[in-house]
Amino acid sequence: MLQSVSATALPLAAFPAPSVPVVPRHRSGPQEFHPPRSTLFLQGYARDRQYRLVEGCVALSQLLPDGRRQVMDILGPGRMIGVWTSDTSRCTAETLAYALIEPVDGLSAGENEAALRDMVARAQALAMLLGRKTAMERVATAILDLAAQFVRPTRNRRRGTVCFHLHPTRGDLADWLGLTVETVSRCFTRMKRAGLIDFQQPEIVTLLKPDAIAHIAAGGTVTDTL
Amino acid sequence: MLQSVSATALPLAAFPAPSVPVVPRHRSGPQEFHPPRSTLFLQGYARDRQYRLVEGCVALSQLLPDGRRQVMDILGPGRMIGVWTSDTSRCTAETLAYALIEPVDGLSAGENEAALRDMVARAQALAMLLGRKTAMERVATAILDLAAQFVRPTRNRRRGTVCFHLHPTRGDLADWLGLTVETVSRCFTRMKRAGLIDFQQPEIVTLLKPDAIAHIAAGGTVTDTL
DNA sequence: CGGATTGTTGAGCCCGATCAAGGCTGGTGG
DNA sequence: CCACCAGCCTTGATCGGGCTCAACAATCCG
């Protein structure tokens, strides 16, 4: 039976890491290559058609009739596409970079459930972010998540710094984080000026102080971390 | 293979109706009765322990270390509790009214997946609401969802009006909708003054113009609907 | 009755939206 | 080769929706 226990605060500040294996398995068809900004529209596909993103970046989003957009997730290599298929969840999937995907069939019921639970966990993390976090916290959380998904093996880097390719545009990030382009841009600028991140082109981002960024994502202020 | 299709705007304004049957099945244990405001803390339970809410109301929420709360869902009769169990999703479940729950075991893999997909769909609907909707739209959406879940069979009612018991407090609603108590209260007052809803006690709400409320939830303004 | 909890209402402020302008980059065609 | 254009990004100025702070009413319960 259910019991009453006092709630313990868990690390819910960040997006949960996927529990599905990143190592490709269950391949059952030829890989497909899609150019950036192409729409992989998933609505109406049979339930058993699932893909794994091998390389690249895909955004899942929903559109309101009046054009307002909410990005539900940004997927990096190893993540599953199409688990949610069937008509219960209607997301548009769009590539944000050259994307290589491979069909994955024959997942066991357990693997399927695990993938679905990951989606629930990430959707709830997004809800927490959208409902209760400030703009800086949202951007910091997003940067950490994307850095984890898109780290590129770097060399000659100072200890503790991480460099990654930021595939989504400022506009995509805004639609993901419930903000506007301008606010996202301003947050990036602030973090850059604060010495937490660096970027010459807007797409190549280096985390200079990952811990400080995590601190902000968890609710600390920027000036705190300076 | 995935194909490129133009996106059609679907009715994503409202919370999706659950696809799991509301009719009790798979009972496998004695029903349990819980008083209002008792915490059914689900973290750490074995995966196979699931419940169905027979009567009453339960809120699922997450807490940030600093105390900020995000309610992830409000469950009414027929909804499943514990589908998400395992350590991927950490929600606190709290009764908002006297709640009668019954253990449900032996769900088929398909039923389990359907329940999980419902959760994903509702979590994404919440993300859309939190990221892209105004306060009035959020409250209108919430009222419609709760009305659908908690309609009480009424008599002597004018056609088209719906009366229901609103179990969550203004504070619970605020934590669900990403607002403050004051804003929620003001939205209720505005809708009351606009003749869309009515309530004598804050907990017994009558929808006077459900269509107009749906119109607001979909993005229309209040003065539009007057 | 007094205290606690919840709901309502008002006044003022602030964070992030909106509006506007300009810079940078990449692609296309002359 | 450069001119032109279309996106994307940045930055500034201003606005406003919802938050904060505060006071008070209503209800419940001991």
Q: What is the pLDDT along chain B (226 residues), one digit of tens a residue?
A: 343 333 444 556 788 887 766 555 666 678 999 999 999 876 555 555 789 999 999 999 999 999 999 999 999 999 999 886 666 667 999 999 999 999 998 788 888 888 999 999 999 999 999 999 999 999 999 999 999 999 987 666 677 899 999 999 999 999 999 999 999 999 999 999 999 999 999 999 999 999 999 999 998 777 655 4
Q: Which bases of chain D are contacted by protein, using any atom under 7 A from a CB?
A: 8-13, 17-22, 27
User: Quick one: pLDDT band at residue A89, thresholds 50, 70, 90?
Assistant: low
Residue identified by tokens 């300076």 is A226
**Other C-beta atoms lying within 10 Å of the C-beta of residue A139:** 27
Q: Which of A82, A97, A90 is nearest to A62 (CA)?
A: A90
User: By the 8 A CB rule, do B111 and B83 touch?
Assistant: no
What Å value separates CA A182 and C1' C18?
A: 10
Question: Is A78 part of the contact surface with chain B (CB cutoff 8 Å)?
Answer: no
Q: Which of A65, A75, A67, A15 is nearest to A42 (CA)?
A: A75
- Residue A9 clears pLDDT 50, i.e. is over it: no
Q: Which bases of chain C are contacted by protein, using any atom under 7 A from a CB?
A: 6-11, 15-20, 25
CA dihedral B126, B129, B131, B132 (to 10 degrees): 160
Q: How far is B25 from B117, CA to CA, in rounded Å? A: 19
Of A2, A45, A70, the CB nearest to B128: A70
| DSSP-derived pairing of the beta strands A162-165 and A204-207 | antiparallel
Nucleotide nearest to B180 (CA to C1'): D19
| Residues of chain B neighbouring A84 (CB-CB closer than 8 A) | 117, 120-121
Q: In Å, how far is B121's CA from the nearest CA of chain A? A: 5
User: Quick one: pLDDT band at residue A24, thresholds 50, 70, 90?
Assistant: low
pLDDT per residue as tens digits for the range A161-205: 999 999 999 999 999 999 999 999 999 999 999 999 999 999 999
Q: How far is A206 from A193, CA to CA, in rounded Å? A: 13
Q: What is the pLDDT of residue A8?
A: 43
Size of interface A-B (CB pairs under 8 A): 185
- Residue A3 clears pLDDT 50, i.e. is over it: no
